């Protein structure tokens, strides 16, 4: 098992957040890390996940202190296909209707957002992976997940975040 903690529990929607996590504990898919349960105590949320033997995607790509294993193309493609299968399952194939949109965030923590909310006060997710229109309009659509998935897929294929390439090109005046 792995335990993740966060003190960033949405105050306005605390009950809805707990219900969504309870629903997520029922999701069964080979490409979705099993969430066994959660505990909220003194404003901090603790999530109990299935242990991922090889660690997070970030760990596989970058390792500890830059000592990442070199992934072959076949392995990279399998990882991207697995992520796509998991996202498709969460959006389309769950046995229980899910009223939230999964977001990839920091390679490990899913932020659960109400897809029906039109009055958000905070943006959840990693800015480097968030669809630009989400930051401006605060409207979540399936397209936002496609954008985030595309960035993660590019990062897996390139071995670094696509933004790093743009930064290095702009610094070199290219």
What are the per-10-residue average pLDDT scores of the chain (174 residues)? 62 61 75 81 79 80 70 88 86 60 36 41 58 77 83 87 75 70
pLDDT of residue 15: 66
Query: What's the CATH number for 2-171?
Result: 1.10.510.10
pLDDT of residue 80: 92
Spell out the residues 6+ positions from residue 174 whose beta carbon is closer than 8 angstroms to its own.
none
Are the C-beta atoms of residues 49 and 35 closer than 8 Å to each other? yes
- Phi, psi of 107, deg, nearest 5: 60, 15
pLDDT of residue 113: 41
Spell out the residues 6+ positions from residue 30 whose beta carbon is closer than 8 angstroms to its own.
82
Model's pTM, two decimal places?
0.64
pLDDT of residue 133: 82
pLDDT of residue 4: 66
pLDDT of residue 136: 77
Half-sphere exposure of 132 (CA within 13 A, CB side): 0
């Amino acid at each position: 098992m792995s335990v993740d903690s966060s003190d960033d529990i949405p105050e306005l929607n605390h009950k809805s957040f707990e219900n969504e996590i309870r629903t997520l504990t029922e999701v069964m898919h080979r490409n979705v890390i099993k969430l066994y349960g959660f505990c909220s105590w003194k404003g901090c949320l603790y999530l109990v996940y299935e242990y991922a033997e090889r660690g997070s995607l970030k760990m596989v790509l970058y390792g500890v202190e830059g000592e990442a294993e070199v992934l072959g193309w076949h392995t990279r493609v399998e990882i991207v296909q697995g992520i796509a299968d998991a996202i498709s399952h969460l959006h389309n194939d769950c046995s229980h209707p899910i009223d939230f949109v999964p977001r990839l965030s920091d390679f490990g923590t899913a932020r659960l957002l109400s897809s029906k909310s039109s009055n958000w006060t905070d943006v959840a997710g990693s800015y480097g992976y968030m669809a630009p229109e989400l930051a401006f309009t605060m409207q979540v659509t399936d397209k936002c997940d496609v954008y985030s998935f595309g960035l993660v897929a590019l990062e897996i294929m390139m071995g670094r975040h696509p933004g790093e390439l743009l930064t290095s090109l702009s610094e070199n005046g290219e």
